Every structure is written in C-alpha cells, then in structure tokens.
C-alpha cells in the first residue's frame, strides 16, 4: 500500500518525553478522507497511553483523538465531505460495521472491538494506529464527522472525546427539561457535562469535594454547587437527582452520591476504569431501584448529533491553546489539574 511521510509528535518508550518523529499515512483509498489536522485536544487517555499507565501501549506511539482539520483529499466513493470542508475525528477510526452493536450505531461497543484512533490495530498498514498529534490523518468516511461552520475550530476539538463521553449518557438516560442532573468532578469531562446538560434544558448541580469551584461552575451553566464533604449540604439534596454523571478519573467512594439519587435514578461512571472501593452498599439502590452504570464515548451518529447540537446552541469547550512543543509541560500540568479545562494543540506549530 502506498504511503506518505508526515511529521508527528510521539514517543518511543514510556519514560521518554514526546518529540518530533516521522510516520507513514496511507494514501486515501476509495472510501477514505485525508485530513490536514489543524487542532488536536489533549485527553487524559493520551497521557496514560504515552506513559503506558494501562500496560498495553505499543511503541512508538503517537496519541491524540480530539481532531479537527480540513479535508485535503477524498476517495472516489466518498459522499459525506469534499475537499476544503472542515472535518473531525474522535476516538475511533474503524469497527466491524456488521455486528449487532455496529448496526445499532453503537460502534464503541463493537463486539469485535473498535479500532482506536491511536494504539489500535491498523487494518490497512499493519502495526498500530497513530493519532492526532500529527500533520495529517487518513480515515474511512464513516468515522469522519462534519463540523458546524459557526463553531470555533480549536474549542471544538475537545467535543470529540470529552463532549461525546458526557453527551452519550445524557441522551441515553434522557436528560432534558424537568430533569435534575448532577456532575461529579470539574475537569475536561465535567465542564462539558455541565454545558451539555444545561443546553438540553436540565437543572444542573456540580458536586465538588472542595470549595473554590463555585464561580467557575456557575459561569459554565451550573445552577448550584454542593460540597460533597459537607454533611448538611449533602443532606439537602438527598433523593434529588435523576442522573449523576461521575467524571472523576481515579478510585473514589461513590456511596455518598447514591443517596442523592431519586427513585429510578442512575449514577453513570465515565471517568474511571477499575474496581470500586471501599465497597458499594446495595441498600439505597434496592430501596429506590437505583442504578450504577458505565458509559464509553458514543457512536458515530450520536457524535454527529452532539456536534450539530453544539452548533445550534453555540457550545464549545473552554480551552488553553498550546504549541506542539509544549506538550510535555502540558502533561505535567494536567496531572496537577492545572488546566481550564482542556489543552488544545495548535498543529500549525508542527509544520
């Protein structure tokens, strides 16, 4: 298969800083779209993959799955976009497209495993897929999204992971006018959950462990902030929420939040993979038919729905634009939660 050499920023090992390297992109086939990458958001998964925190990174790796760019080439069978259009790519670049999940537009739950935008098995070139910290990417049309013309392109990038990860549970559990939604954690995911839930018409509350987030949360659209370590504040929202979106990315006790769910309420975990400690008390769940659930990104059709909704409601991420060369420092700042609320790389700095 023919390939093109493009500049990228990646790493050859878990303990090496990210640095410039050259990678190969396939020449667009009949079904492919070639995109000149303008902006790429910086997700916590990027950092965990670059540093092999989950133990399954294949090196060298190039991460990045919040991609916005301009179409530079389309294959002969492509109908969705044309050269010059703005386009976006999120966390997936392929799936079997034939299993029950894929047929229901749930490619993220493909029973044969979706192909991640990075560190996934590349069906075309062999080896592993390489992500958005690069000049160009070539992706099959089905996995490319259209970008609403009115949105700021850089601030749109984080919608492709942080946005859809919170949008999908809001839609699945039918958040809207009259519903009461709470968000746990105010970071990349949490700030999008607030904006999207508010956009859908829900009453939105932020749970925060420490004071100091009130002003930001209210500016983002939250109606109230509850300090979760204050017993009287937690007591005041006992049995209140229809849906809680828990975005906290590390192990934490979810029991206090279960008590704040209404009958039939659901707490959805989107930020943390792994065991729950110290334990999960089933009593409040059984006594109120409450659920604890998980949710992973969203399907391609749902991602387009989210982007179109954001276009209509003028919703984008709060970002800090950085140069590609600043990525190692950005990772250190992310580990300290020192970002409001998403870094986005200006890819012009790589060219």
Measured from the CB of residue 298, what is the shortest distance to Zn ion in angstroms? 12
The residue among 225 and 297 lying less far from Zn ion, judged by its C-beta, is 297
* 36-44, 233-241, 245-253, 309-317 -> range binding Zn ion (CB under 5 A): 36-44
The residue among 113 and 235 lying less far from Zn ion, judged by its C-beta, is 113
CA–CA separation, 131 and 184 (whole Å): 29
102 near Zn ion, judged by CB under 5 A:
yes
Angle between helices 188-199 and 162-172 (to 10 degrees): 40
Task: Print the binding letters for residues 149-188 with Zn ion: x by CB under 5 A, - otherwise.
Answer: ------------x---------------------------
Measured from the CB of residue 281, what is the shortest distance to Zn ion in angstroms? 31
DSSP per residue, 240-309: -EEEEEE---S----HHHHTTEEEEEEEEE-S--S--SS----HHHHHHT-EEEE--S--HHHHHHHHHH
The residue among 110 and 270 lying less far from Zn ion, judged by its C-beta, is 110
DSSP label of 208:
E
92 near Zn ion, judged by CB under 5 A:
no
**One of 110, 155, 157, 183 touching Zn ion (CB under 5 A):** 110
> How many residues sit in the footprint of Zn ion (CB under 5 A)?
8
295 near Zn ion, judged by CB under 5 A:
no
Measured from the CB of residue 199, what is the shortest distance to Zn ion in angstroms? 21
344 near Zn ion, judged by CB under 5 A:
no
The residue among 285 and 296 lying less far from Zn ion, judged by its C-beta, is 296
**One of 45, 119, 228, 304 touching Zn ion (CB under 5 A):** 45
Measured from the CB of residue 117, what is the shortest distance to Zn ion in angstroms? 9
42 near Zn ion, judged by CB under 5 A:
no
The residue among 21 and 99 lying less far from Zn ion, judged by its C-beta, is 99
301 near Zn ion, judged by CB under 5 A:
no
Angle between helices 300-313 and 188-199 (to 10 degrees): 70
330 near Zn ion, judged by CB under 5 A:
no
- Label residue 134 left, alpha or beta by phi (over 0 means left) and psi (-120 to 50 means alpha): beta
* 45-53, 54-62, 72-80, 299-307 -> range binding Zn ion (CB under 5 A): 45-53
Within 13 Å, how many C-alpha atoms sit on residue 267's CB side? Answer: 25
The residue among 139 and 227 lying less far from Zn ion, judged by its C-beta, is 139
CA–CA separation, 40 and 63 (whole Å): 10
CA–CA separation, 245 and 207 (whole Å): 10
99 near Zn ion, judged by CB under 5 A:
yes
> What residues numbered 225-244 form the site for Zn ion, per CB under 5 A?
none
Of 45, 15, 42, the residue nearest 273 (C-alpha):
45
Measured from the CB of residue 41, what is the shortest distance to Zn ion in angstroms? 8
Measured from the CB of residue 21, what is the shortest distance to Zn ion in angstroms? 21
- Label residue 178 left, alpha or beta by phi (over 0 means left) and psi (-120 to 50 means alpha): left
Encoded tokens for 329: 């420092």
The residue among 33 and 161 lying less far from Zn ion, judged by its C-beta, is 161
Q: Is 226 helix (H, G, I), strand (E, B) or coil?
A: strand
**By the 8 A CB rule, do 307 and 146 touch?**
yes
The residue among 48 and 240 lying less far from Zn ion, judged by its C-beta, is 48
Each residue of 50-67: b (16+ CB within 10 Å) or e? Answer: bbbeeeebeebbbbbbbb
| Torsion angle defined by CA atoms of residues 311, 314, 320 and 326, in that order, rounded to the nearest 10 degrees | 10
Q: Site residues (CB under 5 A) for Zn ion?
A: 43, 45, 95-96, 99, 102, 110, 161
């Amino acid at each position: 298969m023919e390939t093109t050499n493009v500049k990228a920023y990646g790493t050859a090992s878990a303990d090496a800083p990210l640095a410039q390297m050259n990678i190969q992109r396939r020449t667009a086939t009949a079904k492919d779209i070639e995109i000149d990458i303008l902006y790429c958001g910086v997700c916590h998964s990027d950092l965990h993959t670059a540093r092999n925190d989950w133990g399954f990174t294949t090196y060298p790796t190039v991460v990045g799955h919040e991609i916005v760019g301009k179409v530079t080439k389309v294959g002969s069978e492509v109908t969705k976009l044309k050269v010059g259009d703005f386009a976006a790519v999120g966390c997936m670049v392929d799936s079997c497209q034939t299993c029950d999940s894929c047929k229901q537009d749930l490619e993220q739950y493909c029973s044969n495993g979706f192909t991640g935008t990075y560190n996934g098995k590349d069906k075309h070139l062999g080896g592993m897929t390489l992500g958005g910290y690069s000049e160009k990417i070539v992706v099959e049309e089905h996995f490319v999204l259209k970008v609403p013309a009115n949105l700021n392109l850089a601030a749109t990038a984080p919608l492709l992971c942080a946005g859809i990860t919170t949008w999908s549970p809001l839609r699945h559990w039918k958040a809207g006018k009259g519903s009461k939604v709470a968000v746990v954690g105010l970071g990349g995911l949490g700030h999008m959950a607030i904006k999207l839930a508010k956009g859908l018409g829900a009453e939105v509350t932020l749970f925060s462990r420490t004071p100091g987030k009130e002003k930001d949360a209210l500016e983002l659209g939250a109606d109230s902030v509850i300090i979760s370590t204050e017993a009287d504040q937690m007591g005041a929202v006992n049995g209140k929420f229809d849906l809680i979106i828990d975005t906290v990315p590390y192990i934490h006790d979810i029991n206090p939040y279960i008590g704040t769910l209404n009958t039939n309420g659901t707490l959805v975990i989107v930020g943390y993979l792994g065991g729950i400690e110290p334990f999960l008390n089933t009593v409040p769940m059984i006594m109120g038919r409450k659920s604890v659930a998980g949710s992973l990104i969203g399907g391609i059709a749902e991602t387009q729905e989210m982007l179109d909704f954001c276009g209509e409601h003028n919703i984008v991420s709060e970002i800090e634009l950085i140069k590609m060369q600043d990525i190692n420092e950005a990772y250190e700042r992310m580990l300290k939660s020192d970002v409001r609320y998403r870094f986005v790389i200006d890819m012009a700095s790589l060219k």
